[in-house]
Amino acid sequence: MDIATASKLSTLLMWAWLLPLASFVVILFLGKSMGRHSKFGGYVATGVILCSAALSFYALFGVWLPNNPLADASHSSEEVHAEHSEVTSVHPVAFLADHGEGESKGHEGAADHGEGGHGEDGHHANNKPPQSYYGDWYTLGQFGSLKLTIGYYIDALTVMMFCMVTLIATCVHFYALGYMHDELHDFTDSEVTLSDGTNLKRPGRYYRFFQYLSLFCFSMLGVVIAGNVAMVFVFWELVGICSYFLIGFYIERHSASTAANKAFIVNRVGDFGMLIGMMALWSSLGTFAFGDLTDTEGHVVEQGIFSQLRSAENDYHLQATDSVVAEQNRVIRPSADGATIEDPEHNTAGQWLLFIAGVGIFCGCIGKSAQFPLHVWLPDAMEGPTPVSALVHSATMVAAGVYLTGRFYPAFTPEALLVIAYIGCATLLIAATIAITATDIKRVLAYSTISQLGYMMLALGLGGWVAGMFHLITHAFFKGLLFMCSGSVIHGVHTNDMTEMGGLRKKMPITAYTMLVGCLAIIGAGIPIIGPGFSGYYSKDAIIEQAWSYGNSNPHLAILKWAPIVGAFITAFYMFRLWYMTFAGKPRNQHRYDHAHESPRVMTVPLIVLSIFAIGIGWKLPITNLNTTALLEQARPVGTLATTQGVLLPELVIPNEHDSHAPAIKWAAGWAAFSTAASGVLLASIIYLWNLLDPKELKQTFRPLHSWLWNKWWFDELYGLIFVAPTMMISKTASWFDRRVIDSILHGSVTVCKGCSKVVYAVFDKTLVDGMANGIAGVTWDLGLWLRKIQTGNLRQYIMFIVIGTVVLFIAISFVQQTI
């Protein structure tokens, strides 16, 4: 590790990361005193994020690239795929058989496996760990060899994510300076009606918005720079709480605060899974670190997760360490007698534990990236102001789940990847179908976001690491753009409902055409096979190619091959439905149309900037060989460039990503993607542009289907029924149990005690009265009264009795002892 570069990069990115925190603190303490009507908060936050962006870009262009020059990506990948395609197409069967053998031996001896691998002509040659810089800043706690730290792990992906997040955040900040101007003066919230029938009037909270936004940027960048899983978790939660604040920004609206709660709690469900994964990892490997800690001379002092699981001796193939195997045997205990542990048939060699750890970590990603079945919070999160939707709920925070999946990639077993693929596949289809019927412009985009995140997860699950991360980057730009355009529309017409829009392109041309760019980018428009195209064209085709290649290797998993293609059709349909309903045709609500206006320049300039990126982020920069995929290729996780085979599911094969560039696949997938997207646009045009089919009639014809989709597959109702209601019932039962059962037992025993004492009192009293002289009886009577007083609760005496009793006891004992 190059110390100078490492310290330079970590310092640069640390400042880019911490500056927003400073902004948060400044606005927290000074925001209000600067006056509610000042733009102070906005300027501070915007200035700071601009600095962060500058630092990030300097880190990329000034430090990273000079030290880590890009390979000529297109050239090398062509070469690699040529070599691979030949091998795979000629001997697929032989290759699989050979590989299976190698893999099943895998756990027995690394040397063995390495030999078997290298014997073949190179397709076992696995990629080395990417160039990365790792270090600790701060220790939270250390217990023996266990250490929880705050540190950094910087590779090409980190740097690129920094640039992406800060750039989009900068655009959003500028945009929000204009969008939030309502908050500069007293704000009348037309959505909140007070008990006296008037609308709520409240002071503006302009600075507060930027305060949260700054905290969010800090947390998000913290997730990106995190050097270990625990630190990811810390910032993961902080991102969640920022999202809570931002969704619930309109705290007076019940729907907003409910949506904020829902988002946080649903995310916590994911975090529950993540904690399980973390526990499994922590107990087996004893570390959370992504990278290896080296001393000043470059010797590895502490191994991270990845280098433990994918050691160089094992040719970077995933192999459970002894500690993982031991932990699995401890936890799962394969059988009572020791024999079967050695039995290769039953010995999964720690794979189950790695599977649990991987799926557990992925659960966190399911929550954060709104994947099925935890996708329900994201559409509701649209209650927040639109800049929030653009930054938090499309470009960055929800992408954090995908980012973590990509970051944690080397530790996922093939089976865990299959789970990821299935989740992604389900998500992309479910969300896309719901988007078809939604009429709230932001909700359409929300479902579209979920669906696109599903694409990314699918790509990662299918082995397409670069494809998935590439889509993450391109999607961030065009989805941020789309959301900001929708915000501009909402700002112009003061409604979210697309059924009240129409024809707006004449009133707001910049918004309309930048949004068209966004739509074209998201559907992946471009000239098939040869390009050029919008950014989505490159990333979506890469995903579909990988799916195609995966489908070829795993014929039994064909659904994973076809899902993205079907998804492309639906995406094209609902995106153009959205655009047509909003901007084309005749105005549906003349009043709103008449009052519509283009947004101010502070809002449209960011739109234009983002649309440039939405078009060109997938392109190769002229003259240089700089392009996004080449940069991503630099960060390719260790050991992911080999075709791998499942251990628990031996028939599962994750194909090498470079195989998907084979001309045969590229050609077929390219045309499939193009034709489905084109037909989606065509169908949307037929219905919403040329009005050849009446949407209302269609709705009638497909009534059950429409209501199924309109009600979002009834997920909210289902969860209410099977999770929320039972939880509330259990909690009521617990409360009831306390009051009725535990306390009743307590009260019952008190009553019994009282009763006993009364009986004793009565008997005692009567016997004495009958048998003794009146004088003595009188004394007893007094004594009885006195005793009763004690029993009725003068508790000072209770204590006194105990003390006296104790002392008397001791005196008695001491006498006894002395006599002995």
Residue 293, SS3?
strand
- Residue 112 tokens read as 């063995």
Residue 137 makes contact with another protein by CB under 8 A = no
Q: Which is nearer to another protein, 237 or 500 (CB)?
A: 237
User: CA 458, CA 430: separation in Å to the nearest integer?
Assistant: 13
Are the C-beta atoms of 154 and 135 separated by less than 8 Å?
A: no
Residue 278 makes contact with another protein by CB under 8 A = yes
Q: Which is nearer to another protein, 56 or 348 (CB)?
A: 348
Tokens 């507060």 map to which residue?
Answer: 208
Are the C-beta atoms of 381 and 389 separated by less than 8 Å?
A: yes
Q: Which is nearer to another protein, 257 or 685 (CB)?
A: 257
H-run or E-run covering 292: none
Q: How far is the CB of 303 from another protein (least distance, A)?
A: 16
Q: Which is nearer to another protein, 111 or 813 (CB)?
A: 813
Among 14, 51, 184, 276, binds another protein (CB under 8 A): 276
- Range in contact with another protein (rule: CB under 8 A) among 133-141, 452-460, 609-617, 684-692: 133-141
Q: How far is the CB of 600 from another protein (least distance, A)?
A: 29
Are the C-beta atoms of 546 and 657 separated by less than 8 Å?
A: yes
Are the C-beta atoms of 462 and 421 separated by less than 8 Å?
A: yes
Q: Which is nearer to another protein, 367 or 606 (CB)?
A: 367
Amino acid in position 717: E
Among 207, 264, 537, 593, binds another protein (CB under 8 A): 264
- The b/e string for 582-617 (b: 16+ C-beta within 10 A; e otherwise) is bbbbebebeebbeebebbeeebbebbebbbebbbbb
Residue 415 makes contact with another protein by CB under 8 A = no
Are the C-beta atoms of 714 and 381 separated by less than 8 Å?
A: no
Among 50, 275, 566, 682, binds another protein (CB under 8 A): 275
Q: How far is the CB of 694 from another protein (least distance, A)?
A: 41
Nearest CA to 414 among 541, 319, 347? 319
Amino acid in position 73: A
Query: CA angle 156-162-160, nearest 5°?
Result: 30
Q: What sign does the dihedral 84-87-89-93 (CA atoms) show?
A: negative
Per-residue string for binding with another protein, 318-357, x by CB under 8 A?
------------xx----xxx-------------------
Q: 724-753: which residues touch another protein (CB under 8 A)?
A: 727-728, 730-732, 734-735, 738, 742-743, 746, 750
Residue 802 makes contact with another protein by CB under 8 A = yes
Residue 308, SS3?
helix
Residue 246 makes contact with another protein by CB under 8 A = no
Residue 624 makes contact with another protein by CB under 8 A = no
Q: Which is nearer to another protein, 167 or 239 (CB)?
A: 239
- Range in contact with another protein (rule: CB under 8 A) among 128-136, 245-253, 400-408, 520-528: 245-253
Q: Which is nearer to another protein, 622 or 793 (CB)?
A: 793
* 146-154/644-645 β-pairing: unpaired
Q: How far is the CB of 23 from another protein (least distance, A)?
A: 16
Site size toward another protein (CB under 8 A) is 72
Are the C-beta atoms of 99 and 643 separated by less than 8 Å?
A: yes
Residue 188 dihedral angles phi and psi, to the nearest 5°: -100, 115
User: CA 478, CA 455: separation in Å to the nearest integer?
Assistant: 15
Q: How far is the CB of 494 from another protein (least distance, A)?
A: 20
Residue 272 makes contact with another protein by CB under 8 A = yes
Residue by residue, what is the 3-state secondary structure of 491-545? HHHCCCEHHHCCCCCCCCHHHHHHHHHHHHHHHCCECCCCCCECHHHHHHHHHHH
Are the C-beta atoms of 371 and 401 separated by less than 8 Å?
A: yes
Among 258, 439, 679, 685, binds another protein (CB under 8 A): 258
Among 254, 494, 601, 788, binds another protein (CB under 8 A): 254
Q: From the centroid of its chain, how far is CA 820?
A: 75
Q: 192-221: which residues touch another protein (CB under 8 A)?
A: 192, 194-195, 200, 202
User: CA 427, CA 437: separation in Å to the nearest integer?
Assistant: 16
Q: Which is nearer to another protein, 233 or 550 (CB)?
A: 233
Per-residue string for binding with another protein, 750-789, x by CB under 8 A?
x---------------------------------------
Q: How far is the CB of 338 from another protein (least distance, A)?
A: 6
Are the C-beta atoms of 288 and 136 separated by less than 8 Å?
A: no
Q: How far is the CB of 43 from another protein (least distance, A)?
A: 22
- Range in contact with another protein (rule: CB under 8 A) among 227-235, 448-456, 571-579, 762-770: 227-235
Among 66, 298, 622, 793, binds another protein (CB under 8 A): 793
Q: How far is the CB of 238 from another protein (least distance, A)?
A: 6
Are the C-beta atoms of 437 and 573 separated by less than 8 Å?
A: no
Q: How far is the CB of 758 from another protein (least distance, A)?
A: 18
Longest dimension (CA), the chain: 122
Among 143, 345, 623, 696, binds another protein (CB under 8 A): 143
Q: Which is nearer to another protein, 212 or 569 (CB)?
A: 212
Among 54, 241, 559, 626, binds another protein (CB under 8 A): 241
Q: 285-314: which residues touch another protein (CB under 8 A)?
A: 286
Q: 566-595: which residues touch another protein (CB under 8 A)?
A: none
Q: DSSP for 256-284?
A: HHHHHHHHHHHHHHHHHHHHHHHHHHHHH
Q: Which is nearer to another protein, 3 or 728 (CB)?
A: 728
- Range in contact with another protein (rule: CB under 8 A) among 188-196, 475-483, 487-495, 710-718: 188-196
Q: From the centroid of its chain, how far is CA 598?
A: 34
